[in-house]
Amino acid sequence: MSELLVVRPGPLTTVQDLGRRGVAHLGVPRAGALDEPALRAGNRLVGNEPGAAALETTLGGVALRAIRRVVVAVTGAPAPVRVDGRAAAFGAPVAVRAGAVVEVGATTTGVRSYLAVAGGIAVAPVLGSRSADLLSGLGPAPIAAGDRLPVGPPPPYRPRPDLVPLLAPPAELVLRLRLGPRADWFVPEAVARLARDRYRVAPASNRIALRTEGPAVARAREGELPSEGMVLGAVQIPPDGQPVVFLADHPTTGGYPVIGVVPPTDLAAAAQARPGMPVRFVVLRGR
């Protein structure tokens, strides 16, 4: 089995696949890649199955030494890619010879890049997933300098595209919002204003939630709910009135009222939203 030696881990680099699905009833968060289309694209470029584990970097990239020859692809937030100091392609398969260092630099836009490797990152799965969950601590810890990451056997040959088109990180984050289950906990005017008011991404955002800053959403009721189940994309309104959008590492229960839910297809853009980016909610009506 081949390995990748971590030379520079970056600010936060974790192993992620498509997450732990179907275990929320056990109190286990889903985890997994925040930008799922970027993970799938990287795996497609190197010939892996869509859910193979890859590395998710945050803003500052990563540097790895290949112990044996590998093929990698970098997708997600655009960033410079180099092999032994020479420029290499972003969003395309790149061969890395044994002993060479592949480096992903700081993102030029967006937040999270994905480094997929043919064969996938073969750390031990936990509850059916190799993903690191920063809330519960399940799965592998964020990588550190000197770590050796196992790489699975090369996938069987299948035609691989030279490029996979992906949307660029947006200049404004637009999140559709389907109201409920607790929209009645807020005054009707506040719900209507949510679609008109402008928010921005708060610096405290992380893999657990995208936090926003802007006009407070006014409640119609006092007190708190008993804890109830939370889903991916749930928009909680805590006592300060600032909407919080739950992402992959979110808790499975919570007591603050959920004004609505953002469809999963909108959350890849949230994964690439930098602090200060404008946020706009679009309220969906009807079924």
Which strands sit side by side in the sheet containing 70-76, from one edge to the other?
14-16, 54-56, 113-117, 70-76, 94-96
pLDDT at 286: 63
Check pLDDT > 80 for residue 52: yes
Check pLDDT > 90 for residue 114: yes
Per-residue confidence at 231, pLDDT binned at 50, 70, 90? very high
How big is the chain, counted in residues? 287
Specify whether the CB–CB gap between 151 and 104 falls below 8 A. Answer: no
Dihedral angle computed from the Cα positions of residues 192, 178, 247 and 77, in that order, rounded to the nearest 10 degrees: -80
Specify whether the CB–CB gap between 97 and 124 falls below 8 A. Answer: no
Residue 124 corresponds to which tokens in the numbers above? Answer: 């031990």
181 cis-preceded (ω within 30 degrees of 0): yes
Whole-angstrom distance, CA of residue 114 vs CA of residue 162: 17
Mean pLDDT across the chain: 94
Tens digits of residue pLDDT in 118-175: 999 999 999 999 999 998 899 999 999 999 999 999 998 777 777 677 777 788 999 9
Closest CA to 136 of 258, 20, 34, 262: 20
Per-residue confidence at 33, pLDDT binned at 50, 70, 90? very high
pLDDT at 158: 72
Dihedral angle computed from the Cα positions of residues 60, 65, 71 and 77, in that order, rounded to the nearest 10 degrees: 0
Closest CA to 152 of 124, 114, 113, 115: 124
The residue-averaged pLDDT of 175-190 equals 94
pLDDT at 196: 93
Residue 30 corresponds to which tokens in the numbers above? Answer: 């889903």
The residue-averaged pLDDT of 180-205 equals 94
Specify whether the CB–CB gap between 116 and 72 falls below 8 A. Answer: yes
The residue-averaged pLDDT of 254-281 equals 96
Residue type, 221: R
Per-residue confidence at 283, pLDDT binned at 50, 70, 90? very high
For the chain, the structural domain boundaries read 2-151, 173-284
Per-residue confidence at 6, pLDDT binned at 50, 70, 90? very high
Contacts of residue 197, Cβ cutoff 8 Å, sequence gap at least 6: 214, 215
Contacts of residue 252, Cβ cutoff 8 Å, sequence gap at least 6: 24, 27, 28, 29, 229, 230
Check pLDDT > 60 for residue 287: no
DSSP string of 186-212? B-HHHHHHHTTS-EEE-TT--SSEEEE
CATH assignment of 173-284? 2.40.100.10
Check pLDDT > 70 for residue 211: yes
Contacts of residue 22, Cβ cutoff 8 Å, sequence gap at least 6: none
